[in-house]
Structure 1
Amino acid sequence: MGLLTHLLACTFGMGSWVAINGLWVELPLLVTVLPEQWDLPSYITIIIQMANVGPLFVTLMHHFRPGLLKEVAVIYVVVSIGVVACGLLAFLWSHTSHIAGRSHSTAFLVLTFFLALVDCTSSVTFLPFMMQLQPQYLTTFFIGEGLSGLIPALITLGQGSGISSCFNVSHIVNITTGNETVETTIYQLETRYLPANFSTLVFFLLMTLMMLACLLSFFFLARKPKVWELSQRQLFPSSIVLSSFDQLPDEGAGSRLSRGCPCPKDAKEPGDILPKKVSYPLAKLIFIYFLITWVSALTNGVLPSVQSYSCLPYGNTAYHLAATLSSMANPLACIVAMVLPNRSLTLLGILTIVGTGFGAYNMAIAVMSPCPLLQQSEWGDATIVLSWVLFTGTLSYVKVMAGVILRGRSHSALVLYGVVEQLGSLLGALIMFPLVNIYGFFKSADYCSLQCPA
């Protein structure tokens, strides 16, 4: 029975961010079809930030009208919306409409907002529910949350999405000189996208099945007996660190809340469980929060908006690998943080500089698009893919360890962590959206017909 509960908790956690993670790794295929093309990542970035209205609403309701929102009911609604949105996306993702004289993938963008709303809201609803179960299931939940980024990436590796080749195509044209018209043949390279091993429809249907599995897992978990006990655990999901406490009720209340399942008799006293609080000077705290804001702005707002511009000049294969492998780097960095934790602020500062350096390289390549460095070289392809993987991996480690440090200070310090993380992400998205979509600061071009200086 315990193994089954672990499986349910893992599947439930997997549904937390699987939809948005799936969109990111499918982008190499989507940008070749949807009218936004290379601008599509910046649209998704700003939409995700807009979707934070969901967790904001839930948080405000809990603060001003405590008890009004029923946790289980909210999760049912949220996950059901995710299932429906994923299902609709499978069939409507390519539908477009004309707005202000331009074609836009309206259905895709609207459904992306609902998927982002689901995933963002899950951060403030799934965890409180899991705290009602025994503590060991929280670890399994976060393993599932890490898989929400890994599994879509593995699926797209098998899909081979966005892979293209250049073909020499001939066109017959009529050239008129004076009164004489001459028919001639011209040749030019055109990009032909090779068919994926399975379609985008199948990919989104697989995401729908994963969301449906999340809903079914929650259905059974909601019927599990609840155990209330004081606990604090250092846990690492794909991109967040949790530190939470459940109040220890008296024995009678505990029996009622757990539907007849008593609290463990050997539960430790609070002093045995809680780590000693760590004090940091104000200057060091400011430095930590600056790191969080800076790293969040880069990883969640600035660089994702221009990933297409930094990778597509090297071809769709490079973009495909960069998007997929960097998505894998996030949960892997969290595993490294569990195995090799290091609280040294000096090290975190150095890693931030290193990660920022990789990000600066990615941004420089995007600025030089469509004619970046080493464009016709395999070294260029390998360098941009490796740069994206190391950028994501190093800065993910910094975010996780910053959360660990603040966890040792206080619960309110972690709350502020979440605030500055969202603030950094929002600032990054707001800065990049007009640069990409309004001012046209970044340039796109067809890979095979590029005419770059030698």
Structure 2
Amino acid sequence: MVLAVHVLTCLLGTGSWVAINGMWVELPLIVPRAPEGWYLPSYLTVLIQLANVGPLVVTLAHRFRPGRLSEVGTIYAILGVGIVACLLLAFLWQETSLVGGAPHSTALLSLLFFLALVDCTSSVTFLPYMRRLRAHYLTTYFVGEGLSGLLPGLVALGQGVGVAHCVNGSLAAGNGTRLREEDQPARFSVQSFFLFLGGMMGLCLAAFFLLDRLPVARQERAKEKYQAQARVEPGTGLSATMEERPMIGNPEGPGPGSTFGTGTYSRPQVVFIFLVLAWVNALTNAVLPAVQSYSCLPYGNGAYHLSATLAAVANPLACFLGMFLPSRSLVAMGVLAAAGTGFSFYIMAMAVLSPCPPLLDSPAGVTLIVLCWVLFVGILSYVKLMIGLVLRDEGHSALVWCGAVVQLGSMVGALVMFPLVNVYGLFHSGDSCNNSCPR
């Protein structure tokens, strides 16, 4: 294993979702200045789902026109679009125009669509590219993907986003018996944050360029799947150019009952793997994030920020653990997915019971909700890593479908939660400064 290749792979993974993750954590500073107000997160959710047209096009191209779409060229294109979109956002995010007689953040929303398109398409391009490298670099890629959520969160925390304190309500309402929440002023501007995101995308592009071109990276290509054949011209003793040829599939043919990849797994096993993948990503990328504030804020701002920060740390740590404890056991995968789902049920129950969940005034309540968030994210991050290792062994097309199912699961989860949260109002937020629950 070469340290430089690990670093480059980690940076590539970091660029996969850093832009959209950064947008989510910066929303508290953007929303007060946008005409859409707190409807902006709903717009962002819809834009991310519309951006799934990118993975759809790539998946269909691989299915019906195999070999026609340049994987390397596609990655260069989407990273370039991501850099330009971040830089334009830094200077245009406050620009508005009249649509239907009302002001709207047209520049912000348009550029957010392109960022979502970049990040969604990365799921079906970065993973298949990683199959060119040895298997252990896929774990490093997942560590970087976890950092794509952690790093913007830490920068936003340093910026002061979402950090609030309770002040006497008499300052505004003349009633000294009630407190109100007041946000802390940001330490640096939204423009600077978008420039940071553009810099992260630029690092990702540079890392990919080096990963694709450096001799030390080329030496780490997966020899078990890509044969490097040196052709010697007869009578000259001179070797011609090296040729890399993907060896997808089992030369002896697929096993009984399966035509997927190498034929190692039967059809029911393949269905099980993809169902778990879709379910896990629906929970981690859409369902539970939609109710995180409802599940945590009744216990206070401290519980909310602690759960968000530690859960973000749990993602790359779980993938880092996978470097030393890799597993491809389908039984272990099912058990861990069930365990993570169990923690998600507790989190969802606390969100449904908001603003008066159990153990509201007890340290045990704070400990339980934070612990459940950390274990939920950590366990299911490891499950996603296990599935990535399994599908990596099954060939290029398996990783393309892996990315497509990731996006499909996330999309279904978002489409289910959007009406429940934003239309029907089934969840009620708690007041972190005033406890109005019956004792």
TM-score, reference length from structure 1: 0.74
CA contact (8 A) 2:6 2:140 kept: yes
Q: Distance in 1 between matches of 2:25 and 2:192?
A: 14
Q: Distance in 1 between matches of 2:220 and 2:231?
A: 11
1:44–1:397 CA distance, 2 compared to 1 (3 A): farther
Task: Provide the residue aligned with 1:324 in structure 2.
Answer: 309
RMSD: 4.3
Residue 440 (str. 1) matches residue 429 (str. 2):
no
Q: Deviations over 1:169-217 (max 9, x none)?
A: 32698xxxxxxxxxxx533321111234444443332112111223344
Task: Provide the residue aligned with 1:148 in structure 2.
Answer: 148
Return the offset for 1:279: 4.3
Q: Distance in 2 between matches of 1:411 and 1:260?
A: 27
Task: Provide the residue aligned with 2:77 in structure 1.
Answer: 77
Read off the aligned partner of 1:326 and give its amino acid letter.
A
1:299–1:365 CA distance, 2 compared to 1 (3 A): same
Residue 452 (str. 1) matches residue 437 (str. 2):
yes
Q: Distance in 1 between matches of 2:60 and 2:210?
A: 28
CA contact (8 A) 1:153 1:325 kept: no
Return the offset for 1:252: 7.5
Residue 335 (str. 1) matches residue 315 (str. 2):
no
Read off the aligned partner of 2:193 and give its amino acid letter.
F
1:137–1:331 CA distance, 2 compared to 1 (3 A): closer
Q: Distance in 2 between matches of 1:43 and 1:375?
A: 32
Map residues 227-266 of structure 1 onto 2, 5 A cutoff: 227=218, 231=222, 245-246=225-226, 248=228, 251=231, 262=242
CA contact (8 A) 2:142 2:319 kept: no
Task: Provide the residue aligned with 2:17 in structure 1.
Answer: 17
Read off the aligned partner of 1:212 and give its amino acid letter.
G
Q: Distance in 2 between matches of 1:420 and 1:286?
A: 11
Q: SS of 2:288's equivalent?
A: helix
Q: Deviations over 1:261-313 (max 9, x none)?
A: 6479xxxxx99xxxx96845555444433322322221122112222222233
Task: Provide the residue aligned with 1:191 in structure 2.
Answer: 181
Q: SS of 1:124's equivalent?
A: coil
Q: SS of 2:326's equivalent?
A: coil
Return the offset for 1:117: 1.1
1:280–1:357 CA distance, 2 compared to 1 (3 A): same
Read off the aligned partner of 2:385 and give its amino acid letter.
V
Q: Deviations over 1:380-436 (max 9, x none)?
A: 333322221111111122222234345556666555544443332222111111111
1:95–1:118 CA distance, 2 compared to 1 (3 A): same
Task: Provide the residue aligned with 1:393 in structure 2.
Answer: 378
Read off the aligned partner of 1:163 and give its amino acid letter.
V
1:119–1:364 CA distance, 2 compared to 1 (3 A): same
1:295–1:98 CA distance, 2 compared to 1 (3 A): farther
Q: SS of 1:331's equivalent?
A: helix
Residue 215 (str. 1) matches residue 195 (str. 2):
no
Task: Provide the residue aligned with 2:259 in structure 1.
Answer: none
Residue 374 (str. 1) matches residue 359 (str. 2):
yes
Task: Provide the residue aligned with 2:414 in structure 1.
Answer: 429
Return the offset for 1:31: 6.7
Mark the runs of 5 or more structure 1 residues left unpaired by the alignment.
174-184, 234-244, 254-258, 265-269
CA contact (8 A) 2:133 2:222 kept: no
When structure 1 is superposed on structure 2, of 405-414 and 207-216 the one drifting more is 405-414
CA contact (8 A) 1:228 1:246 kept: no
Percent of aligned positions that are identical: 56
Residue 205 (str. 1) matches residue 190 (str. 2):
no
Q: SS of 1:251's equivalent?
A: strand
Return the offset for 1:67: 6.3
Q: SS of 2:355's equivalent?
A: coil
Residue 364 (str. 1) matches residue 349 (str. 2):
yes
Q: SS of 1:162's equivalent?
A: coil
CA contact (8 A) 2:132 2:222 kept: no
Q: Distance in 2 between matches of 1:403 and 1:134?
A: 13
Q: Deviations over 1:333-380 (max 9, x none)?
A: 112223223444443333222211211121122212233333344433
1:128–1:279 CA distance, 2 compared to 1 (3 A): closer
When structure 1 is superposed on structure 2, of 121-130 and 201-210 the one drifting more is 121-130
1:252–1:141 CA distance, 2 compared to 1 (3 A): farther
1:170–1:252 CA distance, 2 compared to 1 (3 A): farther
Return the offset for 1:139: 7.2
Q: SS of 1:190's equivalent?
A: strand
Task: Provide the residue aligned with 2:236 in structure 1.
Answer: none
Read off the aligned partner of 1:380 and give its amino acid letter.
G
TM-score, reference length from structure 2: 0.76
Q: Distance in 1 between matches of 2:226 and 2:214?
A: 18
Q: Distance in 1 between matches of 2:327 and 2:4?
A: 34
Return the offset for 1:326: 1.5
Q: Distance in 1 between matches of 2:211 and 2:71?
A: 13
Map residues 40-119 of structure 1 onto 2, 5 A cutoff: 44-64=44-64, 69-93=69-93, 107-119=107-119
1:121–1:420 CA distance, 2 compared to 1 (3 A): closer
Number of positions where the alignment pairs a residue of Structure 1 with one of Structure 2: 418
When structure 1 is superposed on structure 2, of 412-421 and 322-331 the one drifting more is 412-421
